[in-house]
Amino acid sequence: MKKGFDNDKYVKIQSEHIKERFNLFDKLYLEVGGKLFDDSHAARVLPGFKNDAKISMFQELKKDLEIIFCINAGDIEKHKTRGDYGITYDTELIKIVNKSESLGFKVNSVVVTLYKNQPSVDKFIKKLNRQGIKTYVHTFTKGYPTDVDTIVSEEGYGKNEYIKTTKKLILVNAPGPGSGKLATCLSQLYHEHKNGVNAGYAKFETFPVWNLPLKHPVNIAYEAATADLKDVNQIDYFHLEKYGITAINYNRDLEMFPVLKNILTKITGASIYNSPTDMGVNMVGYCISDDDAVCVAAKKEIIRRYYNELTNYRLGLVDEDTPNKVKMLINELEIDESIMPVIKAARDKIDKCGLPSVALELPNGKIITGRQTELLSPVSSVIINAIKELTKIPDDVDLLSSNILKPILKLKNSDNLYENVLTLQETLIALSTCSVTNPIIGKAIDNLKKLEDCEAHSTYIIQNGELTTLKKLRINLTCEPEFMSDNIL
Rounded CA separation 298/224 (Å)? 10
pLDDT digits (tens, 9 = 90+) for 67-108: 999 999 999 998 877 766 668 899 999 999 999 999 999 999
Measured between alpha carbons, how far is residue 262 from residues 86, 135, 258, 281 in Å? 39, 29, 6, 20
Torsion on CA atoms 238, 244, 245, 250, rounded to nearest 10: 20
Listed in order, the ranges of the chain carrying CATH 3.10.630.10 are 7-287
Longest pairwise C-alpha distance within the chain: 77
Give the confidence band of 488 by pLDDT, cuts at 50, 70, 90: very low
User: Is the pLDDT reported for residue 320 higher than 70?
Assistant: yes
The whole-number average pLDDT for the span 141-157 is 94
Rounded CA separation 51/306 (Å)? 22
- Taking 3-state DSSP, the helix, strand and coil percentages for the chain, each rounded to the nearest 5, stand at 50, 15, 35
User: Is the pLDDT reported for residue 452 higher than 70?
Assistant: yes
pLDDT at position 232 is: 95
pLDDT digits (tens, 9 = 90+) for 366-378: 999 999 998 899 9
How many other CB atoms are there within 10 angstroms of residue 216's CB atom?
A: 22
User: Is the pLDDT reported for residue 468 higher than 70?
Assistant: yes
Fold of the domain spanning 340-479: Cytidine Deaminase; domain 2 (3.40.140)
Helix 424-434 with 402-412: angle, nearest 10 deg: 140
CA 242 from chain centre, in angstroms, equals 33
**Among 385, 374, 358, 376, which Cα is nearest to 460's?**
358
Beta bridge partners of 31: 172, 203
Asked if residues 421 and 376 have their Cβ atoms less than 8 Å apart, the reply is yes
Give the confidence band of 487 by pLDDT, cuts at 50, 70, 90: very low
Please give the model's pTM, rounded to 2 decimal places: 0.91
For the four alpha carbons of 32, 36, 39 and 41, in that order, the dihedral sign comes to: negative
Give the confidence band of 485 by pLDDT, cuts at 50, 70, 90: confident
Rounded CA separation 186/190 (Å)? 6
**Among 250, 266, 239, which Cα is nearest to 147's?**
266
Q: What amino acid occupies position 403?
A: N
How many other CB atoms are there within 10 angstroms of residue 22's CB atom?
A: 22
Please tell me the class of the 7-287 domain. alpha beta
Listed in order, the ranges of the chain carrying CATH 3.40.140.40 are 340-479
What mean pLDDT, rounded, does the chain reach?
92
User: Is the pLDDT reported for residue 419 higher than 70?
Assistant: no
The whole-number average pLDDT for the span 168-192 is 95
pLDDT digits (tens, 9 = 90+) for 19-53: 999 999 999 999 998 888 888 899 999 999 998 89
% of residues, the chain, pLDDT over 90: 82
Asked if residues 344 and 334 have their Cβ atoms less than 8 Å apart, the reply is no
